[in-house]
Every structure is written in C-alpha cells, then in structure tokens.
Amino acid sequence: MRSLDALFSPRSVAVLGVSRNPAKLGYKLLENVKAYGYGGRIYPVNPSGERILDLPSVTSVAALPEPVDLALVSLPASAVADAIVDLAARGAKAAVILSSGFGEVDANGREAQARLLKTARASGLRLVGPNCMGVYSAPARLNGTYFWDLPKRAGGISVVSQSGAYGGLIFRHLGGRGLGVARFVSIGNQADVDLTDILEFLAADADTTLIACFVEALRDGRRFLDVAARATASKPVVMLKGGRSDAGRRAAGSHTGSLAGAYAVYRAAFRRAGVVTADETEEFFDAIEALAATPRRPSAPAIAVITVSGGPSVVAADCAERAGLAVPALEDAVRSALRASLPPFAAVGNPVDLTPQVEPSRIGDAIKLVFDQASIAGAVAIDVGLDIPEFADALVAEAVRTSKPVVAFATDAPAVSERLRSGGIPVLAGPERAVRAWRALWLAGRGAATRSAQTVRPLAPDVTALLAGTRGALPYDVARRALEACGVKFVREAIVQRPADAVAAAETMGYPVVVKADAPGLVHKTEVGGVRLDLRDAAQVRAACDDLRNRAGAERFIVQQQLAPGLEFLIGARRDEVFGPVVVVGAGGVLTEALGDVGIAVAPVTPADIQELMAEGVRARLANGPRGLPRVDVNALAETAIGVSDLILSEPRIREIDLNPVIASTSGMIAVDAVVVLD
C-alpha cells in the first residue's frame, strides 16, 4: 500500500470524537461515513462503548481490534495529541485531523502541531490537517468529511483545497454543473501531507482525469514544480491561488524585488509546470468545466469567433486579445468563398458573423471554410436567441473532423445549447467566459515547459573571493565584475576618485559622457540626484563631480560613455522564498515603476523562456521598435538574462540582482547600472 492509499482507499476506518448527539460534528462525521456506502470496517471510538448509529463503539484507540488504515479525528484540540500518540502506537497508517486550534492560531498552536508531527513521523503515521474538513473518495465510497449533502455524481475530477470552506464551495459548484468528483481532500495546515504530496498521488491515480486545486501557500516550490510537471504530462491541473497580497513583505532592495511579487512568481511557476492558472472563482470553474468536457487541445493560441448573433462576438474578440490569444484575419480566398454563400451584410473577416438571415443549409459549408484555415486553432461560438440546430451541428462536426476545440456562449437557444453539450462542446454563460475557458484549453495543451539542459556557469575564483564575507548591496564595481564574468555586457566606463581624473577619463572615451555618484550603500542613484547626463566638455564634468559630491555624498565617480538613445529594459533576478531564484524582464529606466510591466520565469532560464516573456504586455510592443526605433535583439537580451540567472544560481547568498537600465544598442544589450544585494 502506497503511503496515501490508506487515505483514499482504506480497508478500515476509525472515527474519533463520535457523539450520540446528532447536533455534534462527530455524529455527522460517522453518519457521513455510513451514508455514502463505505464497505470497509468502521470503528466509532467513544469512551461509553455504546452503540452509535447502529455500530458498536470502541472505548479507546488502544482497544481497536486491528491497526486501522485511516483515523478521522474530530476531537477538541486538547485531546488530539494523546489520540495521535495512541494511533501511532496502535499502528494506524493515516490520520485526518479535522480539529482546529493548532498552527493557524498562535505560537502555542504551532508548537502543539510540531509535536503531533514528531510523534507521527516516528511511527510512519501520515497526517492530513489539522484544521481541515476531511477526505472524500468516490472509488472507496468514503465520505470522511463534515459535508453531509455532497452530490453523488460519477466523474474523474479530483480536488485539493487548503481551505475547507472553499473546498466545499468547489464540490457544490462542480455538482451544480453536472460534474462528478473522484477524490477530495482538505489539507488545512499541511503539517505533514501537503498539496504536492496529494498532487503526486493524483497524478498516478487511474480514477483521476483532472486535478483542481485551491492553494494559499506552498512549502517546497522546487519539488512542486517537478511533481506538477509530471502531473500535467498526463492530465490537466487547474489552480486558483488565494492570499495574493504582498502586504507585509520585506522592503525590497531593488526594482526587481519590488516588482516580482509573490503572486506573480506563483503564476510564473504554474506556467513553467504546465498548470492552468485561474484568477477568480468563476474562471476557475469555467476552466474545469471546459477541460472536463473536451479532450481536444489547440495547437496555437489563435481562434475564430463565429456567431449568428452579431455584437457579443466583438466582445469575445476584444477579450481574446486581452487574454493573449490571436484572432487572425481570414485569408482572402476564405473570405471570398464566405461572401459567395452568406448574406451580403455578413462579416467575414474574423469575427465571422453568419447573421440571423443565413440559410441553415449553408452554415455547415461556411463553418468548414473557417476551420480549414491553417492559422485557426479552434473557435469560440456565440449564439444569442437564435435556436438554429444546424449551427450547433456544424460546430460539433468540425470540432470532431479537425480536432480543433470549440467553446461556446449560448443563451435563449435551448436546442443549440443541448446539441453543443451533447457533442462535447462546453457552453458557458458569457462571451468573455467562453474565451477564457478556451484559453484554459490552450494552456493545458502546452503542458510543462520543455527545456534543454541549461549549464550554469560557475563563478570565477577571483569573483568568489570578492563576494566572500560581503553582505548587503555590493559596491558597483564588484557587482559589475561578477556580472561580466557571467556574460553580461556593460557600457565603457571608468571609476575615479577625483574630478580631474573624471575629466581625463571623459576625454579618453570621448564626449558626451555620463557621470554618476558612487558611495557605499548608494543603490538607487537617480533617487538622490546622483546621475548627470549629456556632459559635453571638461567644465561640465568638473561641475557635475562637485555637485554630486555635495548633493549625493559621492566618494568616487563613475564616468560612462553616453550611448545613443535606445529602448531601456530591466533585467534582474531575485530569490523567492518558495520557488528559489527567478528572473525578471521588463520595461526599464524611467518606465520601470510607472508601467510595472515585467515578466517572470523560474531560473535557470533558456532563450525560449525569455522570448516568451518578451512576447507579452508592453514588452512586446517595445521589442518591435515603436516610433521608428530599431527592433530589439531579443537573443542578445536573452543572453543577458541568462547571465543574471547564472549569477544568482551560482552564489546562494545573492538575494537580488537589478540591471536597470539595460539599453538596446547596435552592439546588443548594454547594461549601464547594476545592483547586487547579498544576504
């Protein structure tokens, strides 16, 4: 028996804390175990020894006639510790502690929880909880939860929820949508068994075809990434994360640290592992419904919006572009063919509006034309109030013929809705919801990011020696040397102590130049007026040095060649407390805080990772060279990002790295400033 088989497929169950009072949770728990048809041996544990719910009770754990596979513990917090000691001594395999009053409460509760874990681990007893709502396993006909009216529907969805209450919400909503649950577990405080443990079990579980998770926090992010990637290789995993606020996080030492918030890192990690991320409850349930309804996965993030109802199709197309999906124009030949068979006022560009006046007999050929365009990977169908069965039949037929998935929004069209659902096309209650659900199909179809092995360059011995014994923000010249050793290119510069030396350096490299203040602890130079630009002669350089010494406390001066104007980017890294090193790429310079436009990838990164990040948000428009500026060399940007990734992976004490700005120039990506912060 695997370690969690005792949880989901127990041969015997003990229920601790059983009461004869129907108003008590212990009574309800035992009633649930019986009511759902559990076929194994059931042992109510009650000191009275009386029959409860027509079952003989056992006076104590020690009196159990056998070592049970699973114990459901519904006792006051003060009695749980002794119960776990007794269960461990009696050889129980797993215990679900539904009781509250432990790590979620205070320091005393955390200490008590730690003692439970120590006792359990000494005997090999696995603990779920404390502070949870229990476990449900349809294959075992076991309802070991406090929920008494769970929908009994067959299905392959398995649910893991850190919150018991939210788990109940998931269960009820899935049942309300006609979706069946195979397994459910509320993991509570995760003292022992955590979300990753359950995910690993469900990934190999033949009864589970889709995994849905509500999570507030993970302990070991790197292990989660490995397990989740294996899970998504065989079945969809959908995640909704609670607790997204970064309030209370430590003050960041760099732009990278302030912009790479906790939730953004979770999203990046989920993407790396092939997990479908939902931002809100409605989107979460829609994604689950769509993924459960159809096995089809799109080959590209490109849709056709097809309608007989006009206006909502425009809303769907707008939502698709905001969601990162393409709505490509149809080819000229396709548009011509559509015009020949549709009413003259039909829209044939994409969205495709067949119009209410379309001849039903022509619908199938029109939809086939759209699906046959190679750039179309699937469709979102819209029907408001036009119950034309041929519309549904054509969509189902083309989805089957081409394996291109369809998600629909239909209202006041009962025959269309029924035929779509019967044909494996999910029907959702809004055009935007249909688009986001189609996007979930695309994300799930991508699976975990496949990466070639990325060799991390070790630090040179002289750089390692420079970092030894250092903490806090590195001096600029040390930060630069460390980054250069990892392949990052910097602007031509000189670091001097006297204004006269600054002038000499400027005249050697040629005007115009930039002069910056350099002093211990000076991290953000622009915030203290520590940068002077476009200095064109010796007098301006001397004046700048005097001013920087007076205003910014400069002890040294950094004289840099002034590059030709170019797009500015932020490239950085930080050590996330859950997932370890992550790399950040975004708009840099004065736009950094104003736009807050960054993409995040879990390190180590590859060129493909960075190219994907650069295809999103404002970064994509910047990379294409707006307003006559040259296109950005994304490969050169990727090389810089990989160098940053190498540095933070090679030196465990590095907390944050910040290159801002990195300027896109004819020589590639050139860094003009660097911050490296060590713990």
**pLDDT tens sequence across 498-531:** 999 999 999 999 999 999 999 888 887 877 889 9
- Rounded to whole angstroms, what are the CA distances from 461 to 429, 467, 480? 61, 10, 15
- The closest of 158, 224, 167 to 8, measured between CA atoms, is 158
**289-307: pLDDT as tens digits:** 999 999 999 999 999 999 9
**115-126: pLDDT as tens digits:** 999 999 999 999
Q: What is the chain's mean pLDDT, rounded?
A: 91
Q: Annotate 507-564 with three-state secondary structure.
A: HHHCCCEEEEEECCCCCCHHHHCCEEEEECCHHHHHHHHHHHHHHHCCCEEEEEECCC
Domain 5-243 has CATH 3.30.70.3040: no
What is the location of CATH 3.30.470.20 in the chain? 568-678
Comparing 33 with 621, the larger pLDDT belongs to 33
- The closest of 649, 302, 261 to 445, measured between CA atoms, is 302
Q: Are 361 and 394 spatial neighbours (Cβ–Cβ below 8 Å)?
A: no
Structure tokens at 550: 């007076």
pLDDT at 49: 92
Look at strands 654-665 and 668-671 and give their pairing.
antiparallel
Least confidently predicted of 54-68, 366-380, 419-433, 470-484: 470-484
What is the location of CATH 3.30.1490.20 in the chain? 461-561
Residue reference for tokens 């899935």: 174
**150-209: pLDDT as tens digits:** 888 889 999 999 988 899 899 889 998 999 999 999 999 999 999 999 999 999 999 999
* Count of beta carbons in the 10 Å neighbourhood of residue 462: 10
CATH number of 291-446: 3.40.50.261
pLDDT at 469: 75
pLDDT at 250: 40
Round to whole Å and give the CA distance between 320 and 599.
Answer: 20
What are the DSSP calls for 89-140, one per residue?
HHT--EEEE---SSTTT-HHHHHHHHHHHHHHHHHT-EEE-SS--EEEETTT
Whole-prediction pTM value?
Answer: 0.91
CATH number of 568-678: 3.30.470.20
Residue 27 predicted with pLDDT over 80: yes
- The closest of 502, 587, 578, 487 to 540, measured between CA atoms, is 502
Q: Average pLDDT, stretch 21-49?
A: 95
Q: Are 177 and 287 spatial neighbours (Cβ–Cβ below 8 Å)?
A: no
pLDDT at 643: 95
Round to whole Å and give the CA distance between 566 and 545.
Answer: 26
What is the location of CATH 3.40.50.261 in the chain? 291-446
Instruction: Specify the CATH superfamily of domain 461-561.
Output: ATP-grasp fold, A domain (3.30.1490.20)
Percent of the chain with pLDDT over 90: 78
**56-75: pLDDT as tens digits:** 999 999 999 999 999 999 99
pLDDT at 153: 87
Element (H, E) at 56: strand 55-56
**449-488: pLDDT as tens digits:** 665 556 777 887 888 887 887 788 898 999 999 999 999 9
Round to whole Å and give the CA distance between 530 and 476.
Answer: 13
Amino acid identity, position 251: A
Q: Average pLDDT, stretch 341-346?
A: 93
pLDDT at 24: 92
pLDDT at 626: 73
